[in-house]
Structure 1
């Protein structure tokens, strides 16, 4: 975006006379020399986490070259102005430009707020609406209403028939564009009072929390009331928010960078200091670390405004009841690769259990919380863990609070052995009563992050493990520590790997034991943790978790059902799902029946705007499209470049080719993971480049 273009775009965000723009054009997927989404080193290989600070410095050096006109201080923020920003983000293909636009928005929100309390409230509301949420993940309030309900609301709120709306939906495939068209055709006798950001945020939060027999009618009434006050652009983004996808191709990861820049610049201006790029880079680093330990936007914004963004980590540390973004491991294909990686370092091997990652929190008041790897509160799913924790407290009188990183596995009490994950997945996920449970579980703890209010993540793994052993006692068949081996002997590790498979585990986790590299790094996929699966010693090194976005009509014995599926990786920068492969092997007849039952209700007439696939070729397009809701774990032989599949295309060459998979095979449904936990496009490119270097 040239300077004059940018001035025109930014100047109209909060201007009093702002014209309604036309329907949003599709964003260009091809990077340009001036505005590129590439995140590469100079040698054109994917960046590692070690390069992120340099990326941030380059980004945060960007100074705005236009002053956004002010709104009257202390007045409510019109929702229409926020929607103008959303449309600008939707139309801008460059990620760095989008971050700058969002940062300008956040900065302006801070400048028009009269008091510190207003700053916190306004920024929290705008921030949440930008990431299309109303609360932290772990609180369980989610937007994402069904298409049928939203169509009913549109019909009622705009006076159009369901038939007309369905025809438009078939043409556009976007409930937002249908709403925009419907609202633009509607004339009103009296102009309603404009919506404010606070009204929309509070209404969306209330809608997300409604449940019960009369909840649908209440939701319809609230949606209709908001639609009445919307212009056509507002209707577009309101309906998209309710559906659960803003389609502005601006994901949470980028929002956090923009937020750091805005908070730091605002703080320096208030102190009369010159904007310092190094300080901005430090703010970026602080806010990312704070989010990894305390993933709560409201708490972090409040803390940054009250105490300063550079002081965040003095106040935002681990708290029982707030899930930590878990540390993740890199895949590896051989034991010799492990020995090379950890040369001259002390490391440990642990069983990689075939269960569900469970972060177990004991709060000071005695309350138990169990969180999934995606921060979902799954305490109600495991009521049988409550007496286990109570027994832990009895056996260990000094325990007041803790955060344990564990694996929850299905357990055969009679034979005292681990059962496969497929057995665990048969447990009910909602309304579980302890007396009805038939599949028993055992917790295997492999790390402790907090004990009696003290954060332990800056200790070495060896120290943390000893701390856990010293302060917690094993409960046979209910609570155990993960099996471990501290050795660098190739033959010994090989035997331990074989034994792990015999004990119904997936393989081994190998971790640095001492020093700075052994600290717990929330939310990071670190090479200080490696995973070695027996099944993948000769293959890619790990399975992939991919999003199901479409299906192909079955033939032969699969006639009348699905014959295969189109899968996608997740682009963490844009929030888009990028097609990566077609899959049709590894499914039993029973699994096809299960998938038909689960996926049939999610079928949509057209692919959502957040799905990226090759529209110029019929080779990759399925006959059936889905609303993304499910992950498949997939085994794959290797990676290849493809002009049809677009996974990671913005990170490769000129963007005309993406990465695809050779010989993918279905393993299982990953219903323990959220869509955002899918294998990212950046990871796909990294694995592809690693394979190319090996070859």
Structure 2
């Protein structure tokens, strides 16, 4: 009676309005396309005769139940309604007509239930659905594809992370691969393939990948630095790995590489819960947070950020995390190689965007030059990389141009040994000779809003160091000038005597937050080039034209702002005499520059069109020192086990060497301990 009571409950349930109850042997209850036949584990054999059902006479003590009435209505409805297709098929397959059975069916549910399907239904049985197997990816094989030549490489084979952010493991494995190579072409191919993979799979992460590959977190002129010393890194590493600081220091001294120490410590450590894998975006953003921490407890906060990264680091990730934090990647990847690889990767990526112009014979070489040139005038990866992805490498010069507020790398001169060499080099060209001042190279940017920024030759912001220079250029520029970028030398100057002072005097000035009233060392601006004027870049103009712009833009004032002393001559004796006067005026020597031919400004390049003639390079001119080595430092990294920095002192001061400051530090490549 258990099964019948279940049917009775279904009949009285409000949901039973949609039920189609049919009681015919064997007992069947169907719900649209779903049949409950499968819930009867045993059904009577159609060949077996059922026992005759005994008729019960209703008595006063046993009145007809509601279930009996329901049964009667169900049988009557079954006679009127046509049979379903599934029931008619099952009955036609039986040789004999089944009779009504009186025995109670067994309603015990089967071990495995299935859903029967009618022709109108599209639902398949659950047992028929194939199990979805997880896709196995061989990470080692994917990363190994980076070793291929760039022409034979397919970025799809190396992108194993699909639509997710770029794993940090992918980047550091590429670093590890680069560190084991010495050939420039092979390294360029690996970096190119790495960048192409990121371009293909996750282009949004390309800026972070490029910055970390350059071991930077921001453009140099923004002055954003991590500000972490080895002591803080050792503390974070000790806490993250459950070691004592003394153990970390001991291993550091033995290995000479804190990155290798971190890798060894993390490889021997097991965690109860595995953290989420590191991504390039996570590491890059965390580095940004570390650099921006300031004020009270900033070092503690920085240490906690480092611990978070180290705990999640696996494989060789700890090694390169530490090296990136130290800003000593040491894999043999120069920034020029990175720029070359970026240009080549853009060419392969451009196959889907634009074809190179017809006049370009070597697209890879030309693309590398375009990227290098664009970076020299706009050294900001945040602008160059998106421009490459959106417009392609061939349109890069149009979208990335020189502007005030972003310093360019200074143009540098090649050394020469004598005046006769200069005459031979520039014999058919017009050239000029300028004083080479012994000061600090500076690039002064004046914007249209009147703001002034001063940058060093390394693109470091020095505006706070020279507030007097800011006042001088703002006061001495002509009213017709609304914006400019000036290339000059800042020199210590005695205004009372009208004399140039040595660089050592200039180095005594405070480096930051200098107050005008507290300045003790005056500075004179010696201007020798102008790179931008009134919204017009002048980098591609010849030096003679740039000089005219320079002289038209400023008023001279001795001791505050002066143009570099120069002559135009090709006479050997006159140049020799001019050099002697320059040395007597406390200058280092001369700078010789072409005026009209091959005289454009080439940022970040040591050009043959600029030559420097210093007294140190010439025979019989200059001073010599007799020095004695007094101390040395243990080498680190590739120089572990060697003495790399030798401290020298004057020979006469040798007896009291422990009481004096070293004269200089000389870096030597390999000195056996």
Do they fold alike, i.e. is TM over 0.5? yes
User: Does 2:583 align with 1:501?
Assistant: yes
Question: Contact 2:340/2:369 (CA < 8 Å) preserved in 1?
Answer: no
User: Does 2:312 align with 1:229?
Assistant: yes
Q: Trace 1:604-643 onto structure 2 (pairs within 5 A).
A: 613-614=669-670, 620-622=671-673
Following TM superposition, by how much is the alpha carbon of 1:327 offset from its aligned partner in structure 2, in angstroms? Answer: 0.6
Question: Contact 1:260/1:309 (CA < 8 Å) preserved in 2?
Answer: yes
What residue in structure 2 maps to residue 176 of structure 1?
259
Q: Mark the runs of 5 or more structure 1 residues left unpaired by the alignment.
A: 1-13, 21-34, 36-58, 114-118, 544-553, 569-573, 600-610, 615-619, 623-695
Question: Contact 1:100/1:258 (CA < 8 Å) preserved in 2?
Answer: yes
What residue in structure 2 maps to residue 16 of structure 1?
137
Following TM superposition, by how much is the alpha carbon of 1:525 offset from its aligned partner in structure 2, in angstroms? Answer: 0.9
User: Does 2:613 align with 1:532?
Assistant: yes
Distance 1:274 1:537, change over 3 A: closer
What residue in structure 2 maps to residue 123 of structure 1?
206
Deviations, residues 376-410 of structure 1 (Å, cap 9, x unaligned): 111111111121122024xx112111111100000
Query: Which secondary structure state, in structure 2, belongs to the residue aligned with residue 188 of structure 1?
Result: coil
User: Does 2:397 align with 1:304?
Assistant: no
Question: Contact 1:158/1:183 (CA < 8 Å) preserved in 2?
Answer: yes
What residue in structure 2 maps to residue 364 of structure 1?
448
What residue in structure 2 maps to residue 293 of structure 1?
377
Q: Following the alignment from structure 2 to structure 1, what is the Cα–Cα distance between the partners of residues 320 and 517?
A: 45
Following TM superposition, by how much is the alpha carbon of 1:94 offset from its aligned partner in structure 2, in angstroms? Answer: 2.3
Distance 1:74 1:63, change over 3 A: same
Distance 1:16 1:384, change over 3 A: farther
Deviations, residues 533-563 of structure 1 (Å, cap 9, x unaligned): 23432189999xxxxxxxxxx98xx8xxx34
Question: Contact 1:320/1:402 (CA < 8 Å) preserved in 2?
Answer: yes
Following TM superposition, by how much is the alpha carbon of 1:211 offset from its aligned partner in structure 2, in angstroms? Answer: 2.6
What residue in structure 2 maps to residue 405 of structure 1?
487
When the two chains are superposed, the root-mean-square deviation of aligned CA atoms in Å is 3.6
Q: Following the alignment from structure 1 to structure 2, what is the Cα–Cα distance between the partners of residues 482 and 597?
A: 31
What residue in structure 2 maps to residue 244 of structure 1?
327
Q: Following the alignment from structure 2 to structure 1, what is the Cα–Cα distance between the partners of residues 428 and 537?
A: 29
Distance 1:595 1:519, change over 3 A: farther
Equivalent position to 1:378, from 462, 485, 494: 462
User: Does 2:507 align with 1:456?
Assistant: no
What residue in structure 2 maps to residue 280 of structure 1?
364
Following TM superposition, by how much is the alpha carbon of 1:261 offset from its aligned partner in structure 2, in angstroms? Answer: 0.8
Query: Which secondary structure state, in structure 2, belongs to the residue aligned with residue 269 of structure 1?
Result: coil
Following TM superposition, by how much is the alpha carbon of 1:580 offset from its aligned partner in structure 2, in angstroms? Answer: 9.8
Deviations, residues 120-160 of structure 1 (Å, cap 9, x unaligned): x4110011111111001111122462111111001111111
Equivalent position to 2:523, from 441, 455, 460: 441
Q: Compare 532-541 and 582-591 and name the one that shifted more.
A: 582-591
Distance 1:426 1:392, change over 3 A: same
Following TM superposition, by how much is the alpha carbon of 1:79 offset from its aligned partner in structure 2, in angstroms? Answer: 1.1
Query: Which secondary structure state, in structure 2, belongs to the residue aligned with residue 529 of structure 1?
Result: strand
Q: Following the alignment from structure 1 to structure 2, what is the Cα–Cα distance between the partners of residues 337 and 563?
A: 40
What residue in structure 2 maps to residue 352 of structure 1?
436
Q: Following the alignment from structure 1 to structure 2, what is the Cα–Cα distance between the partners of residues 292 and 584?
A: 37
Following TM superposition, by how much is the alpha carbon of 1:595 offset from its aligned partner in structure 2, in angstroms? Answer: 5.4
What residue in structure 2 maps to residue 133 of structure 1?
216
Distance 1:251 1:229, change over 3 A: same
Following TM superposition, by how much is the alpha carbon of 1:594 offset from its aligned partner in structure 2, in angstroms? Answer: 7.4
Query: Which secondary structure state, in structure 2, belongs to the residue aligned with residue 494 of structure 1?
Result: helix
Equivalent position to 1:488, from 570, 575, 585: 570
Distance 1:582 1:165, change over 3 A: closer
Equivalent position to 1:84, from 173, 181, 185: 173
User: Does 2:193 align with 1:101?
Assistant: no
Q: Trace 1:38-53 onto structure 2 (pairs within 5 A).
A: none
Distance 1:594 1:484, change over 3 A: farther
Q: Following the alignment from structure 2 to structure 1, what is the Cα–Cα distance between the partners of residues 210 and 661?
A: 36
Question: Contact 1:282/1:310 (CA < 8 Å) preserved in 2?
Answer: no
Query: Which secondary structure state, in structure 1, belongs to the residue aligned with residue 316 of structure 2?
Result: helix
Following TM superposition, by how much is the alpha carbon of 1:596 offset from its aligned partner in structure 2, in angstroms? Answer: 5.8
Query: Which secondary structure state, in structure 2, belongs to the residue aligned with residue 134 of structure 1?
Result: coil
Q: Following the alignment from structure 1 to structure 2, what is the Cα–Cα distance between the partners of residues 463 and 579?
A: 51
What residue in structure 2 maps to residue 44 of structure 1?
none
Q: Mark the runs of 5 or more structure 2 residues left unpaired by the alignment.
A: 1-134, 142-146
Distance 1:310 1:66, change over 3 A: closer
Deviations, residues 233-281 of structure 1 (Å, cap 9, x unaligned): 2111111111111222212121111111111110113458999971121
Q: Following the alignment from structure 1 to structure 2, what is the Cα–Cα distance between the partners of residues 499 and 297?
A: 44
Question: Contact 2:155/2:200 (CA < 8 Å) preserved in 1?
Answer: no
Equivalent position to 2:601, from 511, 520, 523: 520
Following TM superposition, by how much is the alpha carbon of 1:204 offset from its aligned partner in structure 2, in angstroms? Answer: 0.7
Equivalent position to 2:275, from 192, 195, 203: 192
Question: Contact 1:144/1:244 (CA < 8 Å) preserved in 2?
Answer: no
Distance 1:489 1:612, change over 3 A: closer
Q: Following the alignment from structure 2 to structure 1, what is the Cα–Cα distance between the partners of residues 533 and 458?
A: 22
Q: Following the alignment from structure 1 to structure 2, what is the Cα–Cα distance between the partners of residues 575 and 563?
A: 17
Following TM superposition, by how much is the alpha carbon of 1:110 offset from its aligned partner in structure 2, in angstroms? Answer: 0.7
Distance 1:579 1:169, change over 3 A: closer
Following TM superposition, by how much is the alpha carbon of 1:18 offset from its aligned partner in structure 2, in angstroms? Answer: 3.5
Query: Which secondary structure state, in structure 1, belongs to the residue aligned with residue 370 of structure 2?
Result: helix
Question: Contact 1:290/1:317 (CA < 8 Å) preserved in 2?
Answer: yes
Distance 1:592 1:286, change over 3 A: farther
What residue in structure 2 maps to residue 320 of structure 1?
404
Structure having greater relative contact order (Cα 8 Å, sep ≥ 6): 1
Q: Following the alignment from structure 1 to structure 2, what is the Cα–Cα distance between the partners of residues 281 and 501?
A: 43
TM-score, length basis structure 2 = 0.72
TM-score, length basis structure 1 = 0.70
Q: Following the alignment from structure 1 to structure 2, what is the Cα–Cα distance between the partners of residues 587 and 69?
A: 60
Query: Which secondary structure state, in structure 1, belongs to the residue aligned with residue 492 of structure 2?
Result: strand
Following TM superposition, by how much is the alpha carbon of 1:192 offset from its aligned partner in structure 2, in angstroms? Answer: 0.9
Question: Contact 2:356/2:363 (CA < 8 Å) preserved in 1?
Answer: no
Deviations, residues 21-70 of structure 1 (Å, cap 9, x unaligned): xxxxxxxxxxxxxx9xxxxxxxxxxxxxxxxxxxxxxx998543886333
Distance 1:566 1:230, change over 3 A: closer
Q: Compare 60-69 and 471-480 and name the one that shifted more.
A: 60-69
